[in-house]
Amino acid sequence: MNDQPAALSLLDVSFWPRGRSQNDALVSDVSFAVRPGERIAIVGPNGAGKTTLIRMIAGLASPSAGEILIDGVSLATMSFAERARRIAYVGQSDEPDGRLTVINYVALGCIPHARLFAGDGGLDKAGEALQAASLSDLADRRLDQLSGGERQRAKIARAMCQRPSLLVLDEPTNHLDPQARGEQLSLVSSMGIPIVAALHDLTLIDAFSDKVAVLADGRLRAYGPPGETLSMSRVRDVFGVDLHRLKHPARDYHLPTLDIPMPRPVSTLTTSIRQ
């Protein structure tokens, strides 16, 4: 029997805005556990409560009810410094000062371990993270001179410098082109630590995640492996679209694809030509 505590446990977690009642909860009674090394995708339509849940897991918001445990320790009992050592968070709207050089920005991830990486130690660790993120050539460039994909990789490199036991991501592939999305998720997967990521693109889930948490109206509708959790009927019910898994023409796996209803209006140009 494995007595090792879960890397992350959510126990009947709920959240409602201060001054409001439980009837106005944005997240209600969510429970699931993340094992060491697992990658978890949190999915749901707009307004489902994904970002609220992610912020609670990252320690940026406190549950109104329930408890969150990191390696068996209650998040509520941890100091801010201990949270920073255990959890790295990359948000979708984080915009650091563009005047920072890439290496100095990445080195900020060493702050929770300042005593260990005093002097040049932080820059050494930042250099290692930049190499892992394929950003070494951009170390001395300013952040405001990077592309969107490069800035996202710099954020992940900063999280690597933090040496967390849990990585929490809020829409890490937002505004990235398809190739950059794959590279971003491959990069975070290479860290080998538990990852919880709110993802918008359902076609990325099968390749990235070990398990999926499906949210709708602030409640957990399903939790488990992608092939079971994102069934055609559940995706249609929650998202209003059809998810198909098509056999790859050359390799032994299936490709998820979305069939999105889209009315096709008659072109005004075509109509005028016919007249």
> From the CA atom positions of the chain, what is the Rg in Å?
21
Count of domains forming the chain = 2
Residues 154 and 213 in one domain: no
The answer to which of 23-37, 119-133, 230-244 has the lowest mean pLDDT is 119-133
The answer to which of 27-36, 184-193, 258-267 has the lowest mean pLDDT is 258-267
pLDDT at 1: 46
CATH number where 175 lies: 3.40.50.300
Domain end position, chosen among 140, 163, 186: 163
Condensed to tens digits (0 to 9), the pLDDT of residues 216-275 reads 999 999 999 999 999 999 999 999 999 999 988 988 888 899 998 877 776 655 555 555
Residue 186 lies in a domain: yes
How far apart CA 17 and CA 40 sit, in angstroms, is 26
Residue 39 lies in a domain: yes
Residue 122 lies in a domain: yes
pLDDT at 120: 53
pLDDT at 128: 93
DSSP 8-state symbol, 142: B
Condensed to tens digits (0 to 9), the pLDDT of residues 128-168 reads 999 999 999 999 999 999 988 888 899 999 999 999 999 99
How far apart CA 90 and CA 221 sit, in angstroms, is 25
Residues 49 and 173 in one domain: yes
Judge contact between 8 and 72, C-beta under 8 A.
Answer: no
Judge contact between 88 and 129, C-beta under 8 A.
Answer: no
Residues 158 and 176 in one domain: no
pLDDT at 101: 94
Residues 104 and 58 in one domain: no
pTM over 0.85: yes
Residues 178 and 151 in one domain: no
DSSP 8-state symbol, 101: B
Taking the CA of residue 178 as centre, how many other CA atoms within 13 Å lie in the half-sphere pointing to its CB? 2
Residues 26 and 131 in one domain: no
Residues 26 and 149 in one domain: no
pLDDT at 119: 54
Residue 233 lies in a domain: yes
Residue 170 lies in a domain: yes
pLDDT at 91: 87
Residues 67 and 169 in one domain: yes
Domain end position, chosen among 163, 185, 218: 163
For the chain, percent of residues with pLDDT exceeding 90: 70
Is 88 a residue whose pLDDT tops 50? yes
Confidence band for 98, pLDDT divided at 50, 70 and 90: confident
Show the domain range for 154. 96-163
93: region left, alpha or beta (phi > 0 left; psi from -120 to 50 alpha): alpha
Residues 132 and 154 in one domain: yes
Residues 171 and 59 in one domain: yes
Residues 54 and 173 in one domain: yes
